[in-house]
Every structure is written in structure tokens, then in C-alpha cells.
Chain A
């Protein structure tokens, strides 16, 4: 078998260095596991072995020589020193710019840099990985050597990240997600050449992505609940897959140019590989939603933290800096009201600008596409690029969320509900992102395209009725009443000014507005394939959860709910938020809702 020609000079760098003595640990441990160690041809055989395995020709794959241990790109050796120096930059800047230092801080910082750079080199030298027909193994550690193995059919997501420095050297960090919800991050290899990383991704997902594109979401009958989950059977691959993906350097081609799936056709203007359907790509106009994401708050926090460190390391007195002092004086001169307004306005402008910048940096050149092999592919990023590939058979639904500010300008965003991708804080920027803040119409279109079913995003939701509305008001107003009540208490007991509780009363109308909006948002529906839930006001979410992704129910009633004849219905799932809640459903409707969503499950427990 010939080595793949794809990647050209890039690809040959790593294998070229492989057999030249830079692999002190490799062969010793690799040998026992491999009956036939491969020659020094580098990536080639291993890569081809992967291909053979994916072709579904089992015996052939087994008979092939075992894959060799590969290592990270030696160019990573250049990355570590720079990275660590950047991290210690505040301390160093203080020394260089201000010419003085707080005691021993700078020498320690330099020593720290030296140690971390040393550790980085050590890490590079001791890390190697191997992809065999049925598992991925990573060996790392110097004193404590560890081998992490992941069965290849457990690989659910592959994430390629490249920081600016990585990009300069054409490197990528690859993170292999195994779908273990409780493990925060999967297997991570920091520093492969980008070509090799892309090839590895193809290799890893090629095999598992064999079965028909979407067996899980939408298309299948909901009868899977109560019957065992059918493990995917690798289908026979066309002969085309035997040829290595040499079509274009650095490309992600899947060998067999099969006809595109039904869905949104590829826009003629987009140059992209065959077998790929672009579902969405960023339009520059969407940047207008940036200011409404408030993501800038975090950025500003980081920048201020950075500045603060420089200032404190260099013993600068911010009050002595000209512009800051001028601002301080100006604020002291004007009346309090004006000063407050000025500060608030300045803060708003700052947050808006930072949020917009953050939007551009995080989401520039965003593109969501579906590959014929049954994966969703998200690529984005201006400086740090990130490409996430997610198997569609792990997809259990889509969540469309509209935070209040974004909703005010008719924006929305989409994230995937997939097993192994637990959704939490920051999910909107993490691996499950399907669409950054964009027009809500676009968000609905993308959700529909990903689900392959228009109904979940268009179906009219069933409202939960006047009793649910009353509960929204009671809860919001009770919470809102705490503020004026507390202030009144302080007025009575601690001589606080009498106007304080009166001002505090303003929380009541705010609470009422919130309650009204929360009720307006609340609703659910059951479509042929999905349970659709919408709720929330500050962040309104419409979640479409595949009915066969529901792996249990929880019906909860508080004392008050029992009096009102309501019940909170919670569908539990292995994907996304793990639980999708329908608050305050009529008790009489709840049983039939659950029964229709997961037929047969409840049958023995139902009575009329």
C-alpha cells in the first residue's frame, strides 16, 4: 500500500522525523502489542490500515501489519516556550517596561517559564499515539507512564482547535470525545500537523459514521423506547474508499463522492468537498447581534485582570496616569446623576464593543455542514480556529435559545442536544454549538435542517393554562416582594430612609412582567419524532428532544402543585441537559402526554 500523497511536504515532516531516533520510548512498548511492526514509512501504513478497517473488510484489516506509534509534531517544541512566555508576560512586562519589580517576582516568573518549557518538551517527548483497527491509544507520562485506550466505536466527537501560534506553524490540537458525560474532556493530543489532525479525524469518524445517516433523530419510529438500542452495523463501503484521501492537501474528503443528503443544497458559490452539505455559514451582517450577547463582560473581566496584574507587579499608581486622573476629576466636578449616567453609558459602550469583538473572534468564518458519512461539522474562529465534528447518530435533538436581549432584536442561537455532549455553562461557545447568535429565522432554519424535520420548530405549542399562569405570577411576585419587605423591615428596625421600601416596590411590576413573559413562553407539543418544550423568559429556550432519546420520566408535584392539579413533567435523557422540563402540566393531561411520547412504556400503569 502506498503512503498517501495528500498533505505533501506537511505530512512528510512528522514521519520523516519519526525513525530518526526521536522516538526513545516508542518501539519498546509498542513491539509486544504488534506482531508485525511496520517499517519506517511513517504515517502511511497506519493510515491505510485505518482505511482498510473502515472499508468493512474485517479479515483483511486484521491481517494487515499493526499500526505504529505516532508522535506529536516536533513543531510543538517551538510552541511551548512562546506560550509559557506569554503566560508570564505581565510579570516580564513589569520588569521591562517599569524597570523595577516587586522583590523576587520577575526571577521567579522566569524560572517558572523555564520549568514549564522543560515540562512541555518532556511532554512532547513522552507522548505518542496509535490508531489500530478497533481502538485509539495514547501513551503519555514520564515517571508515571499511562496508556489511555478508547474503543473506536466510542469516539463520538472530534474537535480540532488551533490557536494563532498553532496556526502559524500549521498545527492543531485534537480532542477526541468519547461521550462520557461525566468526564470533562476526552483524549487530547496537543500538537499534530493540521493535515495529520484532519486525517486522524477522518480516520476516527470514518468507521463509526458508516451506518445510515440518521437512525436516531426524527426518522425512526418512537417504538425504540422499551426495545434495546440497536448497535450500528458497519455497512459495506464502496470501493472508492480504498484510495487514500489525496484529493486536496489538507482537505477533509471522504473518498466516496456519494450523492448529497436531502437537505439544503450546497450553494454554488461555496467551494467545498463533495459529499458535504453546507447548512449554514456566517454572514458578516450577523455581527450586529454581537453587542446583545453580553459575552464582552467576560472579556472585559479578563482584560482588567491582566492590566491589574501588570499594574500591581510594577507598583504603578493608576491615579497618577494622566488620562485616568483627568477622568476622575471630570467625574468629581459634575453632579452625581450626570456622573452615574456617564459611567453607565461608558460601561454599556465598552461591553457592547467587547461583545462585538468577542463575537467576531469566536465565530468568524463559522460554517455548519453535514457530511454524507453522517456527521455534523462546525468550523469557526478568527484567531483560534475550532472545528468540531459530531456524529449524527448521537444527536437527540436541537435547542434554540433566545436570551432576552437577543430576543429583543429578533436573534437566536442553536445548540445540539447530543449524547456525550453535556450542556452546561458556556455551551453556546462549546462543542455543541450549531449556530452563533443570528437572526432567529435563520436559527429556526438551521434547527430544521439539522433535525431533518420542520415540525418541531413550527408546530403550535400547547399552552399550560390559567393555573400555570397563576403559578408563574405567584412565584415571581413572591420573590419580587422580598426586596421591598426587607427594605421595610430595615426602615422599621434600623432607621433606613422611608423611600427605600417605596423604591423597592418597583420590583413588583418587574416581577409581574417577568411572570407574564414566562407564561407566554411556556408551552409544549408532541410531534411524530420529537417532544418540543419551550420555556423561560430571561433565556427563552425551545428544545426539541427526539422521542427515542427519552430514557425515563420524572413527574414531580409540590404541595401547591397538587392543590392546583398540576404536575411538572421531566423527560430524562442521556443527551444535552440530561433533563428537559415541562413545568405545570395539567395532571389529567400528563399521563396521556407521557404515554403518547413513549408508547407502551406506561401501558401497564394506566387506568381510566
Chain B
């Protein structure tokens, strides 16, 4: 804890702003490469629903064939773009890092988020493996704090990494007593 920081924060802030701007770097680790497959799979399955609806509608209403085909084509193109671009983009963005003091994650693609939580304020660490995740050998981790607004999610870690991370976080969290509010 350095004394100047607490004595007058605003002075420091002003100084920092005028000096070469401090920048938050990306977290160190990427998620598993298989996460690309996971996101593609999830997005692709999601697009099947509107496509199915449109096909059923087309079959039921053959009079307006041209309109329906146009809509269908547009949907297919958008879906293809989404499934083709989003997972790659996400893979470039999604990152995570932990230190003994903090957990730091980055996620999103068009809209991006960075979340930081002090390890001392962590309340629970959950691992979750849905059917797709199991298929691809992946795990999702959710780190919650006492705030209802701040769960950190790390999607698409491979099993071993996830297990190691959970163990690590649980150990460090237990070393920090208090109710973390």
C-alpha cells in the first residue's frame, strides 16, 4: 500500500491523466480453441429455429413463394455471417487472468466487457458443463461476488485448466475470511 495513493487520490488521478495514459492491457490467457466450435454450435442451433419457422411458413403458404424465398435467403445469409464471424471474433476477444489479488476477464465481440473482481470479495466459484460443453470437453466458470451485478463468467475453458483455476480460486478465497461485502 503506498502512501501517496491514499493521501490525495485526485492529484494522482490528474497526474496519471496528463502523463502517458495508463492503459488496461488484455488478460493474459486465451480460452480453449475448441470454444470456437462451441460458439458456432450454439449460434447455429439458435438459427435453426427461425429457419424452421420460415420453411414451415413457406410450405404452408406457397402463393407468396418469392417473398418467402427472399426472407429465407436473407436469414440464411445473416445466419451464415453470424456463425462464420462471431466465434472467430469472440475467440480473439475472450481472455482471462487471475492473480493472487484479482480475477480479470474479457468477453464479447461487437459489445465487449472487461470485468475485474478482487479475490478477497469472491463468494462462490461455479463450474458448469452443459451438453455441448461436455461434447467438446469444455467448462464454463462463474465467479460471483456479494454484488448481484457482478458475476464474472469465463466460457470455453478446457477441463484441466478449469479445474486448476477453480482449485486455485477456492484456495485463495478460503484464505480470506470475512463476509466479502
Chain B, range 115-148, C-beta contacts under 8 Å to A: 115-118, 120-121, 145-148
Asked if B17 and A592 make an inter-chain contact with CB atoms under 8 angstroms apart, the answer reads yes
Taking a contact as CB atoms under 8 Å apart, the answer to whether A608 and B22 are in contact is: yes
Contact call B9/A526, Cβ cutoff below 8 A: yes
Q: CB of B20 within 8 A of chain A?
A: yes
CB-defined contacts of B110 to chain A, threshold 8 Å: 558-559
B171 within 8 A of A: no
Contact check, A229 vs B23: say whether CB atoms are below 8 A apart. no
Chain B residues in 8 Å Cβ range of A181: 148
Other-chain residue from B6, B8, B9, B114 in contact with A554 (beta carbon distance below 8 A): B114
Report the separation of the CA atoms of residues A606 and B145 in the bound assembly, to the nearest whole angstrom.
Answer: 23
Contact A591 B147 (CB under 8 A): no
Mask of A545-578 contacts with B, CB within 8 angstroms, 1/0:
0000101111111110010000000101111011
Q: Is B24 an interface residue (CB 8 A)?
A: yes
B116 to chain A: closest CB distance in Å? Answer: 5
Q: Which residues of B contact A553 (CB under 8 A)?
A: 114-117
Measured CA separation A9–B148 after assembly (Å): 47
In the complex the two chains form, what is the Cα distance from A225 to B147 in whole Å?
Answer: 14
Question: Contact check: which of A231, A558, A573, A608 meets B23 at CB < 8 Å?
Answer: A608
B65 close to A (CB within 8 Å) = no
| Contact of B176 with A by CB under 8 A | yes
Across the interface, B180 reaches (CB within 8 A) one of A182, A229, A595, namely A229
- Most A C-beta atoms less than 10 A away, residue of B8, B112, B118, B147: B147
Contact bitstring B101-112, A, C-beta under 8 A = 1, else 0: 110100000111
Interface contact A222-B97, CB-CB below 8 Å: no
Interface range, B side:
35 or more
8 Å CB contacts to B: which residues of A498-542? Answer: 525-528
> With A229-B180, A551-B147 in contact, is A589–B21 under 8 Å at CB?
yes
Does A607 sit within 8 A of B, measured CB to CB? yes
A595 & B16 in contact (Cβ 8 Å cutoff): yes
What 1/0 flags go to B166-181 for Cβ under 8 Å of A?
A: 0000000000111111
Collect the chain A residues with CB atoms within 8 Å of residue B104's CB. Answer: 605
Q: Are A222 and B23 in contact (CB under 8 A)?
A: no
Of A422, A528, A559, A606, the residue contacting B8 (CB under 8 A) is: A528
Considering the chains assembled together, what is the distance between the CA atoms of A231 and B20 in angstroms? 40
Q: B99–A604 contact, CB under 8 A?
A: yes
The answer to whether A591 touches B120, judged by C-beta atoms less than 8 angstroms apart, is no
Residues of B within 8 A of A577 (CB): 149
Q: Using known A-B contacts A526-B10, A606-B23, determine if residue A556 contacts B146 with beta carbons closer than 8 Å.
A: no
- Cβ contact of B1, chosen from A419, A525, A579, A600, cutoff 8 A: A600
B1 touches A591 (CB 8 A): no
Decide: A605 and B97 in contact? CB cutoff 8 A. Answer: yes
- Contact flags B21-49 to A (C-beta < 8 A → 1, else 0): 11111010000000000000000000000
Q: Contact partner of B13 among A179, A558, A596, A608, CB < 8 A?
A: A596
A422 to B99, CA, bound (A): 30
B125 CB → nearest A CB, Å: 14
- B16 & A592 in contact (Cβ 8 Å cutoff): yes
Query: Could you say which residues of chain B place their CB within 8 Å of the CB of A527?
Result: 9-10
Residues of A within 8 A of B179 (CB): 229, 231
Most chain B CB within 10 A, of A553, A556, A593, A607, is at: A553
Check B163 for interface membership: any CB of A closer than 8 A.
no
Given contacts A221-B6, A526-B13, contact A557 B147 (CB under 8 A): no
* Residues of chain A lying within 8 A (CB to CB) of residue B181: 179, 229, 419, 549, 551, 574-575
A593 engages B25 (CB within 8 Å): no
Contacts of A579 in B (CB 8 A): 147, 149-150
Which residues of chain B are within 8 angstroms of A598 by Cβ–Cβ distance? 118
| Chain B contacts for A570, CB-based, 8 A | 149
A551-B121 in contact given A182-B148, A226-B101 (Cβ < 8 Å):
yes
- A552 touching B147, Cβ below 8 Å: yes
- Measured in the bound complex, the distance between the Cα atoms of B19 and A100 in whole Å is 83
Provide the bound-state CA to CA distance between A595 and B102, in Å. Answer: 13
In angstroms, Cα B117 to Cα A579, docked, is 13
Say yes or no: A601-B101 contact (C-beta < 8 A), given A528-B9, A551-B150, A552-B115: yes
A511 to B171, CA, bound (A): 52
B113 at the interface (CB under 8 A from A): yes
Residue of B nearest to A556 (CB): B113
Q: How far is B146's CA from A526's CA once the two chains are assembled, in angstroms?
A: 23
Known contacts A552-B118, A589-B21; is-contact A574 B147 (Cβ 8 Å): yes
Q: Do A591 and B116 contact each other (CB < 8 Å), given the known contacts A226-B101, A578-B149?
A: no
Q: Which of A231, A559, A575, A608 contacts B111 (CB 8 A)?
A: A559
- Residue B5 CB within 8 A of the other chain: yes
Least CB distance, A557 to chain B, in whole angstroms: 5
**Cα A549 to Cα B147 with chains together (Å):** 10
Chain A positions within 8 Å of B27 at CB level: 605
Given the complex, which residues of B lie within 8 Å of A228, measured CB to CB?
120, 176-178
Q: In the complex, are the beta carbons of B147 and A601 less than 8 A apart? A: no
Q: Does A597 contact B (CB under 8 A)?
A: yes
- Which B-chain residue is minimally distant from A455 (CB atoms)? B10
Q: How far is the CA of A476 from the CA of B150 in the complex (A)?
A: 28
Q: Is the CB of B146 within 8 A of A602?
A: no
The 10 closest A-B CB pairs, nearest first, are A229-B178, A572-B150, A579-B149, A592-B16, A574-B146, A588-B21, A552-B117, A574-B181, A551-B121, A572-B147
28 A-B residue pairs with CB within 8 Å: A225-B118, A226-B101, A226-B102, A226-B118, A229-B120, A419-B146, A549-B181, A551-B180, A552-B115, A559-B111, A572-B147, A573-B149, A574-B146, A574-B147, A578-B148, A588-B23, A589-B17, A592-B13, A592-B22, A596-B9, A596-B10, A596-B12, A599-B5, A601-B118, A602-B24, A605-B116, A606-B25, A608-B20
A residues adjacent to B (C-beta < 8 A): 179, 181-182, 221-223, 225-231, 419, 422, 525-528, 549, 551-559, 562, 570, 572-575, 577-579, 588-602, 604-608
Other A-B pairs beyond A228-B176, A526-B13, A599-B2, 16, CB < 8 Å: A225-B120, A225-B121, A228-B177, A551-B146, A555-B115, A572-B117, A572-B147, A574-B145, A574-B146, A577-B149, A578-B148, A592-B16, A592-B22, A600-B101, A605-B102, A606-B23
